[in-house]
Amino acid sequence: MTDRPHIAALIVAAGKGERAGGDMPKQYRMFRGKPVLAHAIDALAAYPMIDAIRVVIGPDQEDAYRDAIAERSVAAHVIGGETRQESVRNGLEAIAADGGADIVLIHDAARPFTPITVIDRLIAALGTDPGAIPALPVVDSLARTDGSTVDRSEFVTIQTPQAFRFDVILAAHRDWTAPEPATDDAAIARAAGHRVAVAEGDPALKKITFAEDFAMPSPPITRTGLGYDVHAFGDGDHVWLCGVEIPHDRALAGHSDADVGLHALTDAILGALGDGDIGDHFPPSDPQWKGAPSHRFLEHARDLATARAMTIHHVDVTLICEAPKIGPHRAAMRSRIAEILAIPEKSVSVKATTTEKLGFTGRGEGIAAQAIATLGEMGE
């Protein structure tokens, strides 16, 4: 199955937020030029695979909510319940009534910043488990109220968004029968017998709880770029794909070595930097690039990122073709991209798909590639 999952985000914004002080709930208070809730919405909207965002609000918060979201595109809001659990349940039921989803991210409105890399890790964890939560190790010493210490290595601090396969968490909420409401969706999933993976969280996900939290420092900037490239087949006996030479009965035609995978990835990194595309940096009209190996283009994009104090966190390339077969060469491709970008191999993904004999790739006329790159400020 090549279709990507339908992902919905549910932001819980129905609380009163009284501990943060002020004359309104904290999620609607101004923070660095816009309401806290607007930050939370914008952070999730920046993730390209999220298809819909829905917000759960309190019954008397509609005016504040409309002011906070302004012109932002979100699904119809949902009125919450007396507890957070009831509010989440109401939101999940609203998503179900709209046709449901494959994956849902349940997030606290009071966490204004959500790094894209955290969402990447949560979605990846759902490949093996029905639920996943971000968490950070406890760094302070822990003690009971009687002064006796405990082993902090056994504990983590839980954050949101928490990610679940939608049907699993909806059923778990519907089946919850404990007398006390749950404050954590992972607990509800575990109570229903489901395993919940723990993924690496991020300090940027700090929750605004008290008045002094409105002075928290800005998180590092994270950017995402997309790339796409196409090359037709011509005469030859091999192709270059993602830096690997593969024997084939034809070659890809292009001014350089026509490595469609590295071209798409170069464009993705340049896009994240806001620095044009590969044609701007290496014009095909310039004879010096005739037959040039495409790793030089990718190295150039890497060096631009370094010069601008940006780290390449993760890259993902999808090759679209009927032939050659990519599977036998995928490990070598990941290794080569990691080498060129000087990043860990675990931060590189290479996939392949076909178009079921449809279109120019289906007819075997060429190869297409798409890529996404996630960059962050150095030190993130």
pLDDT digit string, tens, across residues 242-278? 999 999 999 999 888 999 999 999 999 999 999 999 9
Phi, psi of 367 (to 5 degrees): -130, 140
Examine the fold and report which residue of 215, 249, 280 is the final residue of a domain before the chain moves on: 215
- The closest alpha carbon to 90, from 191, 10, 205, belongs to 10
Q: Give, as one character, the DSSP assignment of residue 200.
A: E
Structure token pair of residue 268: 């993705």
d(CA 20, CA 211): 4
pLDDT per residue as tens digits for the range 95-151 = 999 999 999 999 999 999 999 899 999 999 999 999 999 999 988 888 888 888 888
Do 124 and 231 fall within a single domain? no
The mean of the pLDDT values for the chain is 91
**Does the residue 1 lie in any domain?**
no
Furthest-apart CA atoms within the chain: distance in Å: 79
Same domain, 46 and 103: yes
Same domain, 188 and 308: no
Last residue of a domain, one of 215, 235, 253: 215
Task: Clarify whether residues 255 and 179 are in a common domain.
Answer: no
| Euclidean distance between CA atoms 282 and 302, whole angstroms | 15
Say if residue 192 is in the same domain as residue 318.
Answer: no
Q: Is the pLDDT at 90 greater than 60, yes or no?
A: yes
2: in domain: no
Structural domains counted in the chain: 2
In a domain, 297, yes or no: yes
16-20, 46-50, 167-171, 178-182 — which one is most confidently predicted on average?
Answer: 167-171
- Say yes or no to pLDDT of 236 above 80: yes
Domain boundary residue among 181, 215, 249? 215
Q: Is 228 exposed, middle or buried (0-12, 13-18, 19+ CB in 10 A)?
A: middle
Lookup: tokens for 89: 């349940």
Question: Strands, E, within the chain: which ranges?
Answer: 7-13, 30-31, 34-35, 50-57, 78-79, 103-108, 131-137, 142-143, 149-150, 156-158, 162-165, 196-200, 222-234, 238-241, 244-247, 251-252, 310-320, 348-353, 366-377
The answer to whether position 119 is within a domain reads yes
pLDDT at 1: 36
Q: Is 59 found in the same domain as 161?
A: yes
pTM of the prediction?
0.61
Instruction: Express each pLDDT in 207-229 by its tens digit.
Output: 998 787 777 766 667 899 999 99
Tokens 């796409």, residue located: 228
Q: What percent of the chain has pLDDT over 70?
A: 96
Q: Is 174 found in the same domain as 31?
A: yes
Of the listed ranges 170-174, 201-205, 298-302, 367-371, the one predicted with least confidence:
201-205
203 and 254 inside one domain: no
- Mean pLDDT (whole number) for 152-169: 94
Evaluate whether 375 touches 223 at the Cβ level (below 8 Å).
yes
* CA end-to-end span of the chain: 34
Distance CA 343, CA 336 (A): 10
When pLDDT is averaged across residues 54-63 and rounded to a whole number, the result is 94
Q: Which CATH number covers residue 311?
A: 3.30.1330.50
- Could you tell me if residue 115 is inside a domain? yes
Reduced to 3 states (helix: H, G, I; strand: E, B; else coil), residue 9 is strand
Domain span holding position 44: 7-215
Q: Same domain for 162 and 191?
A: yes
How would residue 54 be classed by pLDDT, with cut points 50, 70 and 90?
very high
Question: In this structure, what token pair is assigned to residue 106?
Answer: 């349940």
**Together in a domain, 246 and 160:** no
| Alpha-carbon span 225 to 213, nearest angstrom | 31
Q: What is the CATH number of the domain that holds 126?
A: 3.90.550.10
Q: Quick check: is 259 in a domain?
A: yes
Quick one: 151 and 169 in the same domain?
Answer: yes
State the pLDDT at residue 2. Answer: 47
Average pLDDT over residues 306-317: 93
Identify whether residues 98 and 185 lie together within a single domain.
yes
